[in-house]
Structure 1
Amino acid sequence: MPIAIIPARGGSKRIPKKNLRSFCGQPMLAYAIKAAQASGCFEHIVVSTDDAEIAETARQLGAEVPFMRNPSLADDHTGTTAVTVDAIKQLESLGFNSDTYCCIYATTPLLQAVDLVAAFQKLQNKQADYVFSAASYGFPIQRALKLIDGGFAVPFQPENIIKRSQDLEPAYQDAGQFYWGTRDAWLTGKGVFNGSGIAHILPRYRVVDIDTEEDWQMAELLYQALQQHDNK
């Protein structure tokens, strides 16, 4: 069966202790773990962390922490792929083996188990190397503006500024929730975004990147609204 890997380092600077901070009454880390548990997809749900407090919280929530991440892989410049590859190698050295791994971000309170299941099915059915969460941009990126000296606005692509939205090709963003991938794809360094990955599209109202206090507040409002909707 697949193995879930949840990277959760201790040194968040913009939002201190982001992975442990209470989000609508639960540690932020709880949402990724509970979604993985609810999906039923995984034999093991593993948290990769350098932080003892995160490790203890992860275990209390039902995840496994069979190794501690090297601090050299917990700085501001280490990417998701490097952390995932390290986790796979660490797990295999401990006897945890799988053909499929899913990296799930720790700060994903809007993640739903049904999307983990559907994305896994796509990975199997389409024989892709990766399946990742994505969402459409709410406005055509071809009509984006930039500010020059004095705050004056000019278009990035002047040739598209007067075109109708429906005449422009839709664009999508990485939703930053999860990345399903085969073991071989992770370990051989195949990139997710070089044509090897299939996008699993999420509605925009279930996607938020939590990097600032404003992001956090928006995410809580979205989560509460979705909870109220689901409870009706």
Structure 2
Amino acid sequence: MIAWSIEAAIASGCFDRVVVSTDDPEISAVAREWGGLVPFSRPAALADDHTGIMPVVRHAIEWHVDQGLNPEHVCCIYPTAPLLEPSVLTDAYERMVRSGSDFCFGVASYGHPIQRALRLDAKGGVSMFSTEHSLTRSQDLEPAFHDAGQFCWGTSAAFVDGRSPFLQKSVAVVLPRHRVVDIDTPEDWLLAEALHMALALKAET
């Protein structure tokens, strides 16, 4: 899975170094096989299931600074983004630099208006999150977007300071929904496989 992210990063031409942060020997071997660098082992304190992305990126930046390397811009690419296109990374970087923003990341629109979202209780009963929109037409509601879970460009200073991409000065690149699958569940995996096969078939025709 991680090979797709490494290949996209290399193909984009954006990076002087494509570094994989991990403490796992198998992942390290795969990363090196596909052209990634694994110059350090991620500390155990940052390798559990609850560690956020920001501390991991901050550690990688600080490691490079200790080695005499001082990157101005850094991109965190998630290892579960097989549909990420290299050109998107390039476009996002250029947008961030032009705008002078702290961050730039990919977003996708929700397939249905979030204002008409429903909740289910323990007995299967239905209620609306926003009852004021119970009679509003879907096409009259403001579109909403979510983090695509593929990448996040940022300045080194923003990452090291722990600024949030969702609260600070950020810009976004809107991605088509058929290019976005954040793989967390077996169902996500099946959807990613189906989309990947469909995109590959389209490329051949």
- What is the TM-score when the length of structure 1 is the normalising length? 0.86
Deviations 1:44-90 (A, max 9, x none): 00000011111111111111111000111011110011111111111
Q: Does 1:152 align with 2:125?
A: yes
Counterpart code for 2:52: G
Runs of at least 5 residues in structure 2 that lack an aligned partner in the other structure:
none
- Kindly report which structure 2 residues correspond to 1:185-196, keeping only aligned pairs within 5 A, or say none: 185-196=158-169
1:93 to 59, 66, 73: 66
Cα distance in 2 between the residues matched to 1:95 and 1:222: 42
Deviation digits for residues 171-225 of structure 1 (CA, Å, limit 9, x no counterpart):
1000000000001111112110014211111000111111111111110110010
Alignment of 1:1-232 (within 5 A): 28-232=1-205
Rounded to whole Å, the distance in 2 between the matches of 1:206 and 1:57 is: 24
The separation in 2 between residues aligned to 1:77 and 1:30, in whole angstroms, is 23
Q: Which moved more, 1:31-40 or 1:148-157?
A: 148-157
Q: Give the whole-Å Cα distance in 1 for the aligned partners of 2:13 and 2:163.
A: 27
- C-alpha spacing 1:195/1:34, structure 2 compared with 1 (3 Å): same
Extract unaligned runs of 5+ from structure 1. Answer: 1-27
Q: Residue 94 of structure 2: SS of its match in structure 1? A: helix
**1:23 aligned partner:** none
Q: Secondary structure at the match of 1:48?
A: coil
- State the AA in 1 paired with 2:47: A
Contact 2:150/2:182 (CA < 8 Å) preserved in 1? no
2:41 and 2:12 map into 1 onto residues whose CA distance is: 25
State the one-letter code of the partner of 2:110.
Answer: Y
1:149 CA displacement: 4.3
Q: Which has the higher strand share?
A: 1
The structure-2 alpha-carbon separation of the partners of 1:107 and 1:149, relative to structure 1 and needing over 3 Å to count, comes to closer
The amino acid of 1:225's aligned partner reads A
Give the fraction of aligned pairs with identical amino acids, expressed as a percent. Answer: 49
- Structure 1 residue runs of 4 or more that deviate by more than 3 Å after TM superposition: none
Aligned partners of 1:190 and 1:196 also within 8 Å: no
Q: TM-score, normalised by structure 2?
A: 0.97
CA contact (8 A) 2:102 2:168 kept: no
Cα distance in structure 1, aligned partners of 2:33 and 2:94: 29
- Secondary structure, aligned partner of 1:44: coil
